[in-house]
Amino acid sequence: MLSGLCVKRLNLFLVFLFLMGIPLLFAKGKKDVKRIRAIEFTGLRNVKKSIVKNAITIGKRDEFDQNELDKDIANIYKLGLFSDVAADISEFEDGVKVTFVLQEKLIVKRVDFKGNEKFSNRKLREEISTKKKEGYDTRKIKDDIEKITTLYKDKGYVDVQVVDFSTTDDVSGFATVTFSIEEGKKVLVGDIILRGVESFKKKKIKKLFDTKKKKVYKEEIFNDDLKKIKAYYKDYGYLDIKILEPEVVYDIPRTKMYIKVQLEEGKQYKNGEVDFTGNTIYTKEDFMKVFKFKKDKIFSQSAHIENEMNVKSMYAEKGYIRAKIISDVDKNPETGIVNIKVDIKENNIVYIGQIYIDGNTKTKEYVIKRELLVKEGDVFAVGKIRRSQEKLFNLGFFKDVRVDLEETKEPDTADLAIEVEEDKTGMVSLGAGYSSVDKVVGTIQVTELNLFGRGQKLNLTYEFGSRRQNYQIGFTEPYLFGRNLLFGVDVFNTTSWRSYSGDSTAYKERRRGGNIRVGKPLSEIHTLNFTYAYEEVKVYDIDDSFMYEIENSKDVASSLTSSIVRDTRDNVFDTTRGSQQVFSVKVAGGPFGGNTHFYKPTFKVSKFIPTFWKFVLGLQSRVSYVKEFAPSEETPIYERYFLGGADTVRGYDFGEIGPSEKGKILFVSNLEYKFPIVKEKSRTILSAAIFADIGGSWKGKDDITAKIGSAEKQMKTGAGFGIRIRPMPVLPIRIDWGYGFNHEPGEQLSQFYFTMGQIF
């Protein structure tokens, strides 16, 4: 047995070993970290070391990390100057040395062109990707040959030949790239020769080609032409139409090419039966209201595609945005009948999860969201979302509004993303112009459509000229106290010369006062409006020749105008479709006080019809009359209808149409055909229009006539053209020239108009 002393010594020895082993255990577990002590590059000849050093991120005294080194090797490759890049790691001064082993590509010393006359060397160098002082790459050169060839062929040089005669010097490490070009002759289209066209006139089919005689042949355009021909035939029931491989022949000088196109029309098909399966939400009768497919009528491919879209839109309106419409077009070559089987996979209703607003830097998010007709948790109704997009455009705050659907993890939920691009909403404008009616006209206007980003509107206007002096201040809050209730107030002081019996300066009219406006939407398209106005109206400076017909007066007019509006226009500033109907009644005096008493009902309707391209036909008609009531014995002259001028019948001076003492009944109709000239994204900056106007004004119903002529009671017509300038969504500037067809002798036949605002 061990003695106590031995046991004690053994225990001390074991403790010693334990204590000595602890650092060893920790040392074994610690990562052996090495630092970079040196970085070198080998294989460099023509590439400067600084270029490579700038491409890497590792540096001396950094901890060595293989992942970072691999990234730097990739960065060096991206320079495009090396065919091979590797790294060698070696021990060096208690750390490591990283040696990048590089194999340079040949460096392009010069890029030359030979044989080119049509295009300059500079133009060709801009087209190609091979550049001086960059790596020599045969794949790039091959692509460059294609680019040069395409450039020439797009200009009609169909026989162009491009060959690479590059020279390389492995000793110096440089290469000279030379493109040899044989341009050949310029070839234009001589004619397109159609064969196999029996059901249509060849002239009609030829008009469908964008490839024209005496024009350069472009393969891409010609292929699109063939697609158009096929689509045209299929829209007339020729579903088996085939176009064989076109044949191209050249004239002897090889300056013209003749393209022979052989068609096989096949059989013409007619509509048979249509059936729907899988539908539970809608009936077949519902579908047939939008599915234009009448039995025994000629089948149309484009109409069929439109029918599918109409059915899909029906489902999308109710939130079934994932509904699948699969059509089977069953054509019978023997009978020439096409039967349609539409299989519908309705899937589930999709609801809106989150609504995201992006792109707004000034406009408050709540200003945008309050215009939306949908909210989170609602059905993803595409129609309401599209209408919401239009409402946002109609604010006048945005250049563009994009709506997108974003998928979520929930199968029956999708997020709605709305991205806006803000437009300038504040503007100080100074304008001047001249018209035969108002002579020199000047305008100073301060406008802010989106005050402090809250959607409030502020307008300050000062107009001056030889016939007018107007001041106006207006403020509008579209959501009073956060409710969908419009509130506005205007204060004005206007002084204008007025026409009477052919005299454009018969008397002066001054109006001072203000109004309060309130509007309440009743639905998506209906609005109820009320305007209370209080104004002092003074008639003075009457020309001596009218002293017995016009009296000096100073009236107080207190009135309430009520109106109901139905508006389906897609964009109130630049309408392309939709309509507007307005019925209003103005009542002055009576319970509202003042010393003038009358009522004035007005009905106005406008319609906008998109035609071809972006041409829009606009139509407007307005009917109105005014009637006094006791104790007033006559309607004030300033409330009667002054017809003629920029806003009624163009081609006539203000007041030239109707009785000399001004009428109490009015009818005006305007037709305007407008098309854009300059567009910026979704907004038209500059447009042109041609127009025709007709209108009349009468003292009473017994005087009304539909006849057109120069007599006082007859209606007058005018026509002309103009341009529209829109520096911002509101404040459109109209410059029109109108010619009147029914002038009395001595009147000026045409007029120029410079105005701000829309005619309708």
Do 647 and 749 lie in a common domain? Answer: yes
Would 485 be classed as within a structural domain?
A: no
Token representation of residue 714: 């007859």
Q: Which of 627, 642, 540, 538 is nearest to 588 (CA)?
A: 627
CA distance 340 to 327: 7
Do 668 and 758 lie in a common domain? Answer: yes
Do 715 and 649 lie in a common domain? Answer: yes
Residue 479 amino acid letter: Y
CA distance 494 to 481: 32
Q: How many CB atoms lie under 10 A from the CB of residue 544?
A: 6
CA distance 269 to 199: 13
Q: Which residues of 716-755 are buried (b: 16+ CB within 10 A; e: fewer)?
A: bbbbbebebebebbbbbbbbbebbbbbbeeeeeeebbbbb
In 3-state terms the chain splits into helix, strand, coil percentages (rounded to 5) of: 20, 45, 35
Do 661 and 731 lie in a common domain? Answer: yes
CA distance 705 to 608: 28
Helix (H) / strand (E) element for 471: namely strand 468-477
Do 649 and 732 lie in a common domain? Answer: yes
Residue 278 amino acid letter: G
Profile the chain (760 residues) by mean pLDDT over runs of 10 residues: 48 50 45 82 89 91 90 90 90 91 90 95 94 90 95 93 91 92 95 95 94 93 96 96 95 94 96 95 94 94 95 94 94 95 95 95 95 95 93 90 92 94 81 58 84 94 81 96 95 88 83 97 95 96 86 94 96 91 97 96 97 92 96 92 92 88 94 90 85 96 94 96 80 88 92 81
Length of the chain in terms of residues written: 760
Would 522 be classed as within a structural domain?
A: no
Rg over alpha carbons for the chain, rounded to the nearest Å, is 40
Helix (H) / strand (E) element for 315: namely helix 301-317
Domain boundary among 299, 319, 345: 345
Give the count of domains, the chain: 7
Across-strand partners of 726? none
Would 721 be classed as within a structural domain?
A: yes
Decide if 236 contacts 302 (C-beta within 8 A): no
Helix locations, 207-254, DSSP H: 219-234
Would 229 be classed as within a structural domain?
A: yes
Token representation of residue 136: 């020599």
- Give the phi and the psi of residue 573 in degrees, each rounded to 5: -95, -25
Do 20 and 45 lie in a common domain? Answer: no
pLDDT computed for residue 6 by the predictor: 46
Decide if 733 contacts 715 (C-beta within 8 A): no
Longest alpha-carbon distance in the chain: 152
Token representation of residue 630: 């006791």
Do 66 and 91 lie in a common domain? Answer: yes
The answer, as to whether pTM is greater than 0.85, is no
Would 742 be classed as within a structural domain?
A: yes
pLDDT computed for residue 178 by the predictor: 95
Do 163 and 196 lie in a common domain? Answer: no
- Give the phi and the psi of residue 404 in degrees, each rounded to 5: -140, 155
* Conformation bin of residue 578: beta by default, left when phi > 0, alpha when psi is -120 to 50: left
Cα torsion 647, 651, 657, 660: sign: positive
pLDDT computed for residue 512 by the predictor: 96
Token representation of residue 437: 């009616």
Q: Which of 570, 657, 652 is nearest to 607 (CA)?
A: 570
CA distance 643 to 691: 17
Would 604 be classed as within a structural domain?
A: no
Residue 496 amino acid letter: S
Domain boundary among 345, 375, 390: 345
Decide if 478 contacts 454 (C-beta within 8 A): no
CATH of the domain at 711: 2.40.160.50
Residue 22 amino acid letter: I
Do 653 and 758 lie in a common domain? Answer: yes
Domain boundary among 345, 366, 393: 345
Do 232 and 297 lie in a common domain? Answer: no
Would 78 be classed as within a structural domain?
A: yes
pLDDT computed for residue 497 by the predictor: 84
Do 321 and 363 lie in a common domain? Answer: no
CATH of the domain at 194: 3.10.20.310
**Domain boundaries, position 356:** 351-422
Cα torsion 147, 148, 154, 157: sign: negative
Q: Which long-range contacts (CB under 8 A, 24 or more apart) does 69-78 make?
A: 69/98, 73/100, 76/52, 76/100, 76/102
pLDDT computed for residue 435 by the predictor: 52
CA distance 280 to 465: 68
- Give the phi and the psi of residue 240 in degrees, each rounded to 5: -100, 15
Do 740 and 675 lie in a common domain? Answer: yes
Helix (H) and strand (E) counts for the chain? Answer: 11, 34
Beta-carbon contacts of 301 under 8 Å, excluding residues fewer than 6 positions away, are 231, 234, 235, 239
CA distance 455 to 476: 9
Q: Which long-range contacts (CB under 8 A, 24 or more apart) does 53-62 make?
A: 55/79, 56/100, 58/98, 60/36, 61/35, 61/36, 61/37, 62/35, 62/36
Would 517 be classed as within a structural domain?
A: no
Class of residue 162 by CB neighbours under 10 A (exposed 0-12, middle 13-18, buried 19+): buried
